[in-house]
Amino acid sequence: MADSPVIVNCAVLGNQRCGKSTLVSMFSDPKSTDYLSHYNMTTDPRITNKQVRVPDDDVVYEFFFFDMPGCPLYTDLVKKYIAECQCALILYDANDQDAVESITHWSNVLVEATLQENLPVVLVATHSYEVEDAASVRLHAKISDLADRKGWRLARTNAVDRRDVDLPFMLLADAYNATQ
């Protein structure tokens, strides 16, 4: 009989409206289109789970995704919810010129909540490929450098055409597996 999958808790963090609930719901329920038709601000943290096989390996993890509110009013609540998380997806809008500050803020929240400095993190650029001007290319280069310095993986996604919406989760499984 196959071993049971290892359970891993993953915090899903990022500014309000950057696309956290959309990405998680597209991955956990590929037929869902709810979040694309209208915006539902997350007020109650939502936990969903899905198994992910590590690419090129025989290992399966069962991730519990803690989809948190981005609204600053909830930051203390977020910290309580994610205290036991073992990894994180940190999302940002690829067109937000303040994305570096938002990533820094959410990575600090992760460290303060978990008291762990080096949890596996995947950065996820949402709304990617929508504006390809010089400013967004520069921003992407800056965030790639930040990811390299921190040892984080980086994925670009777009929910409207569902481009690469599974990629962050494959990178997450691989990044988490590398720590085991």
Ligand X SMILES: Nc1nc2c(ncn2[C@@H]2O[C@H](COP(=O)(O)OP(=O)(O)OP(=O)(O)O)[C@@H](O)[C@H]2O)c(=O)[nH]1
Residues in the site for ligand X, rule: CB under 6 A? 14, 16-22, 35-36, 39-42, 69-71, 126-127, 130, 158-160
Q: Residue 86 interacts with Mg ion (CB under 5 A)? A: no
Instruction: Annotate each residue in 37-76 with x if it binds Mg ion (CB under 5 A) or - if it does not, as one string.
Output: -----x----------------------------------
Nearer to Mg ion, 126 or 136 (CB): 126
Cα 37 to Cα 62: distance, rounded to the nearest angstrom: 29
Judged by beta carbon, residue 16 or residue 28, the one nearer ligand X is 16
Return the one option of Mg ion, ligand X, none that residue 158 interacts with (CB less than 5 to 8 A, by type).
ligand X
The position carrying tokens 């400013």 is: 135
Rg of the chain's alpha carbons, rounded to an integer?
Answer: 15
Which does residue 22 bind out of Mg ion, ligand X, none, counting CB within 5 to 8 angstroms by kind?
Answer: ligand X
Q: How deeply is 77 buried, as exposed, middle or buried, from its count of CB atoms within 10 A (0-12, 13-18, 19+)?
A: middle
**Minimal CA–CA distance to 94: which of 127, 120, 47?**
127
Q: Find which of Mg ion, ligand X, none residue 14 binds, CB within 5 to 8 Å per kind.
A: ligand X
Tracing tokens 């996604």 back to the chain, one arrives at: 157
Structure tokens at 23: 């990405």
Contact positions vs Mg ion (CB under 5 A)? 20-21, 42
